[in-house]
Structure 1
Amino acid sequence: MMQSVILAENVYYIGKNDNREVPFHRLILARGTTYNAYLLKTEKPTLIDTVDMEFGREFVEYLSEMIDPEELQYIVINHTEPDHSGGMAALAGRATNATIVCTEPAVKELKEMYKLHSRDFLVVHDGDTLDIGGKTLLFRETPYLHTEETMITYCVEDKILFPCDIFSTHVANNQIFADEAGFDITEDFIGYYNAIIHPHRRYVRALIDALETLDVQMIAPSHGYILRNEIQKYIGLYATMSADTVTDKKVTIVYTTIRSNTKKVANHLQRIFEENDIQASVFNADKADHAEILASIQEADAVFVGSSTKYADMIGNIEDILKAMLDMNLEGKIGAAFGSYGWSGEAIEVIQDYLNQTSMNVQSTSQVIKTTGMTHVEFPVRVRFSPKDEQLTKIEHSATFVADLLLSAV
């Protein structure tokens, strides 16, 4: 069932109420969900987000009752995931005059997903504004909430925030406003945060900072209830739930190296952890006392083990450490492999194999993608030759991901 509701002058909610048991991020949404889009019928008519691709045709038919799609001047896509951008598959051929507004990382995704290579795009950056004729849209980039290309849109005159997935709930609701739901939605609000946003909690801080400069009187997300009362309560919940709640965490980093490249990776990992107030101890397994290394591993909350690769194998004494770890009780600890290489980097994979034989929670790219959807975090951490530029960024992403796991209470 599609429905529309007036939120402000010339601002319309257009939503699809999906009251099935909905498969979503390997969860089953027993209470269903909604897919919310918003039409601003200004001098330059603008659509903000669409609906799930499964309901794209129904969405376009319903939208056509409110406005001729050819009249649309802008289509704002805050987030490219198909439950929000999916309506583009049916809409693009009807809204031929519309410029697509999104962040730079979103352009390629939208072009490839919906064959929009010949369409006009307006790339917006953090703080950019757009005059849509009688209303002004302000854009703030919110990367990794919960994918790289995500942004939020704020209507200056109406003080409405359109944050896509952020501040959402998963409930198939006939009453679109939270204050008309007939029950306290806080539990559903927190449940959504924990399931979708919390793995990306670090990036909530930038969101909260951005909102401090905005007078938000209504939050119109892309799932579930629209919030028009107790706005600061809901923003405050995100601030509280994303705050560091665990202290005194320790990381042990053990490595061997040929030409100091793996040492540089180890030192960069250490720096990132220490910037997050996590104690990081670094050992060269060819120089440090092995008893001291193993004692540090036993006390640590996370363990990174790395080696350079020579003739398709690890170097130095790192294998002695790994063999000793097999006899240790490491349950509850986070494990990760890293290293530098010049050709194929087999040593890193051998370390990963060793770690997988322990009782640690060993990080892998596959696990990260399946649990968070993040594609910018990679495990093992593989660096070719000396780490620089993009490779330093890759190391930072991986260390930050583990730091978040350590500092998170959920």
Structure 2
Amino acid sequence: MNKEIKIAENSYWVGYVDDRKVPFHRLILEKGTTYNSYLLKTDKATVIDTVDISFGRKIVDNVKEYMDPAEIKYIVINHVEPDHSGGLPALANKAKDAIIVTTELGAKELKEMYRLHDREFLIVKDGDKLDIGGKTLVFFETPYLHTEETMITYCIEDKILYPCDIFSSHVATYDLFNDLADEDIIEDFETYYKLIMHPHRPYVQDMIEKIRDLEIDMIAPSHGYILREDVQKYIDIYEQSSKATTEDKQALILYSSMTGNTRKLAKELKLGLEERKIESKVINVKDNSNLEDIKEEIKAADVIFFGSSTRYADLVGGLEEVLKELKEMDLSTKFGVAFGSYGWSGEAIEVINDYLNDTNIKVVDSSYVIKNTGMDNLRFPIRVKFSPGEYEKKELKDSAHLVADLLIA
């Protein structure tokens, strides 16, 4: 780093500009990217986020231009993904007494990723404050933006928000500040939002509420431009883009139950969908033998849940007759979800999923969810052993919420 890059009084950029074509999330970043890291040189010197794991030595060298890394008191890790926490091992090796500040889940993951079990961690939650000697940091948990452990950091005195991946853009720029850019950065900013944040839009709304009353003069993210001009414009883009648009979306829940447990699952799924303002219809195929009517309902729906209890490793009722018809239908614009209750191994649920995979419907299984949202806390197909208790009911609603979110354009 050849020049001092100051973002506020006693606060400096110590990141790395990666101007290659960078492989990232199965994409190639044609414009490269930046790994933004920040040094707050206060009485209790603090680093907020680091750089990609490939450039750990760079952040150490950059910090050395301002101070001895051994004097660092805190290292804040907002998000443990290696493009932000990757410089932590190298920095922590020099800053041997530094306390690592992160969420509870973040601490668990960092300890395992970098073998930091012997280091001191400060676990923070929503609204917790930290005096770093001349500046005060406030922390807010922002789960699933874009992984479960994430948080954001706000400096009260500087009115700067450090949101890690949130409000980022993938551009390799040595100008760093948006008001110095020689081109409009909105397209890159919006593209980043759509690719990384939009799958988690309900959580974007939660984040917006948490920062709504903060005085924010600057947003210092961990990729791309630091936003110090028209800051509210970028916040507004996130707020407007993440608003739910469930108008005219319809869900259909088809099921066949043996003892009534799968019916209970269908009921909870319906409640969860309706909490997301998705119009939902439930049909017990055992009581409705008109196959053509059911096919018309399927054609009208945006997402169809197919559920069955398991009896002797097989489906029950008339659901299989419906599933056999799907292959001849164009379901390419629809989502399909398998669910069911069981007492032993629950083969019927997997049989349903096999039928769905033999069509052109978008099958919501664990692979699809992880690839499209990065979330791994819910299991698809949806399986519940015997009757759902309170824990299972919550998971069913959470699963319905996730599927509803997939429907939101």
TM-score by length of 1: 0.96
**Distance (Å, rounded) in 2 between the aligned partners of 1:269 and 1:318:** 18
How far does residue 210 in structure 1 lie from its aligned partner after superposition? 1.1
The answer to whether the aligner puts 1:132 opposite 2:132 as a matched pair is yes
- In the alignment, which residue of structure 1 is the partner of 2:317? 316
Listed as ranges, the matches of 1:256-271 within 5 Å are 256-271=256-271
Listed as ranges, the matches of 1:190-201 within 5 Å are 190-201=190-201
Q: Percent identity?
A: 56
> 8 Å contact 1:376–1:394 — kept in the other structure?
no
How far does residue 246 in structure 1 lie from its aligned partner after superposition? 4.6
Listed as ranges, the matches of 1:390-405 within 5 Å are 390-405=391-406
- In the alignment, which residue of structure 1 is the partner of 2:167? 167
- In the alignment, which residue of structure 2 is the partner of 1:360? 361
> 8 Å contact 1:290–1:321 — kept in the other structure?
no
Q: Does the residue aligned with 2:306 lie in a helix, a strand or coil?
A: strand
The answer to whether the aligner puts 1:118 opposite 2:118 as a matched pair is yes
Deviation above 6 Å: which 4+ runs of structure 1?
none
Q: Does the residue aligned with 1:161 lie in a helix, a strand or coil?
A: strand
- In the alignment, which residue of structure 1 is the partner of 2:284? 284
Deviates more, 1:244-253 or 1:296-305: 244-253
The answer to whether the aligner puts 1:38 opposite 2:38 as a matched pair is yes
How far does residue 375 in structure 1 lie from its aligned partner after superposition? 1.4
How far does residue 382 in structure 1 lie from its aligned partner after superposition? 1.6
- In the alignment, which residue of structure 1 is the partner of 2:337? 336
**Letter in structure 2 aligned against 1:18:** D
Q: Does the residue aligned with 1:355 lie in a helix, a strand or coil?
A: helix
Q: Which runs of 5+ in 1 are unaligned?
A: none
**Distance (Å, rounded) in 2 between the aligned partners of 1:333 and 1:314:** 23
**Distance (Å, rounded) in 2 between the aligned partners of 1:259 and 1:98:** 58
How far does residue 151 in structure 1 lie from its aligned partner after superposition? 0.6
> 8 Å contact 2:340–2:382 — kept in the other structure?
yes
**Distance (Å, rounded) in 2 between the aligned partners of 1:378 and 1:34:** 35
The answer to whether the aligner puts 1:215 opposite 2:215 as a matched pair is yes
- In the alignment, which residue of structure 2 is the partner of 1:386? 387
**Distance (Å, rounded) in 2 between the aligned partners of 1:262 and 1:344:** 15
- In the alignment, which residue of structure 2 is the partner of 1:300? 301
**Letter in structure 2 aligned against 1:224:** G
How far does residue 4 in structure 1 lie from its aligned partner after superposition? 4.8
Q: Does the residue aligned with 1:92 lie in a helix, a strand or coil?
A: helix
> 8 Å contact 1:3–1:15 — kept in the other structure?
no
> 8 Å contact 1:50–1:88 — kept in the other structure?
yes
Q: 1:105 to 1:139 in 2, by over 3 A?
A: same
The Cα offsets for residues 244-294 of structure 1, whole Å up to 9 and x where unpaired, read as 235111100011223322222211111111111111101112123433332
The Cα offsets for residues 140-163 of structure 1, whole Å up to 9 and x where unpaired, read as 111111111111100001000000
How far does residue 3 in structure 1 lie from its aligned partner after superposition? 6.3
Q: Does the residue aligned with 2:172 lie in a helix, a strand or coil?
A: coil
**Distance (Å, rounded) in 2 between the aligned partners of 1:195 and 1:2:** 33
- In the alignment, which residue of structure 1 is the partner of 2:89? 89
**Distance (Å, rounded) in 2 between the aligned partners of 1:337 and 1:395:** 12
Deviates more, 1:363-372 or 1:163-172: 363-372
**Distance (Å, rounded) in 2 between the aligned partners of 1:401 and 1:329:** 24
Deviates more, 1:220-229 or 1:208-217: 208-217
> 8 Å contact 1:78–1:152 — kept in the other structure?
yes
**Distance (Å, rounded) in 2 between the aligned partners of 1:42 and 1:169:** 28
- In the alignment, which residue of structure 1 is the partner of 2:48? 48
How far does residue 100 in structure 1 lie from its aligned partner after superposition? 1.0
Deviates more, 1:394-403 or 1:311-320: 394-403
Deviates more, 1:7-16 or 1:385-394: 385-394
Deviates more, 1:219-228 or 1:197-206: 197-206
**Distance (Å, rounded) in 2 between the aligned partners of 1:3 and 1:289:** 75
> 8 Å contact 1:33–1:170 — kept in the other structure?
yes
- In the alignment, which residue of structure 2 is the partner of 1:99? 99
> 8 Å contact 1:2–1:14 — kept in the other structure?
no
**Distance (Å, rounded) in 1 between the aligned partners of 2:148 and 2:2:** 30
**Distance (Å, rounded) in 2 between the aligned partners of 1:70 and 1:249:** 56
**Distance (Å, rounded) in 2 between the aligned partners of 1:283 and 1:3:** 67
**Letter in structure 1 aligned against 2:69:** P
> 8 Å contact 2:273–2:397 — kept in the other structure?
no
Deviates more, 1:173-182 or 1:315-324: 315-324
Q: Does the residue aligned with 1:281 lie in a helix, a strand or coil?
A: strand
**Distance (Å, rounded) in 1 between the aligned partners of 2:317 and 2:230:** 60
Q: Superposition RMSD on alpha carbons, in Å? A: 1.5
**Letter in structure 1 aligned against 2:354:** D
**Distance (Å, rounded) in 2 between the aligned partners of 1:390 and 1:171:** 43
The answer to whether the aligner puts 1:148 opposite 2:174 as a matched pair is no
How far does residue 389 in structure 1 lie from its aligned partner after superposition? 4.2
**Distance (Å, rounded) in 2 between the aligned partners of 1:2 and 1:82:** 25
**Distance (Å, rounded) in 2 between the aligned partners of 1:55 and 1:359:** 43
Q: Which runs of 5+ in 2 are unaligned?
A: none
How far does residue 240 in structure 1 lie from its aligned partner after superposition? 0.9
> 8 Å contact 1:2–1:17 — kept in the other structure?
no
The Cα offsets for residues 163-195 of structure 1, whole Å up to 9 and x where unpaired, read as 000000100001010010111111110011011
- In the alignment, which residue of structure 2 is the partner of 1:249? 249
- In the alignment, which residue of structure 1 is the partner of 2:227? 227
> 8 Å contact 1:4–1:15 — kept in the other structure?
no
Deviates more, 1:265-274 or 1:397-406: 397-406
How far does residue 377 in structure 1 lie from its aligned partner after superposition? 3.7
**Distance (Å, rounded) in 2 between the aligned partners of 1:50 and 1:390:** 38
Q: 1:3 to 1:109 in 2, by over 3 A?
A: farther
Q: Does the residue aligned with 1:322 lie in a helix, a strand or coil?
A: helix
**Distance (Å, rounded) in 2 between the aligned partners of 1:386 and 1:80:** 37
> 8 Å contact 1:326–1:358 — kept in the other structure?
yes
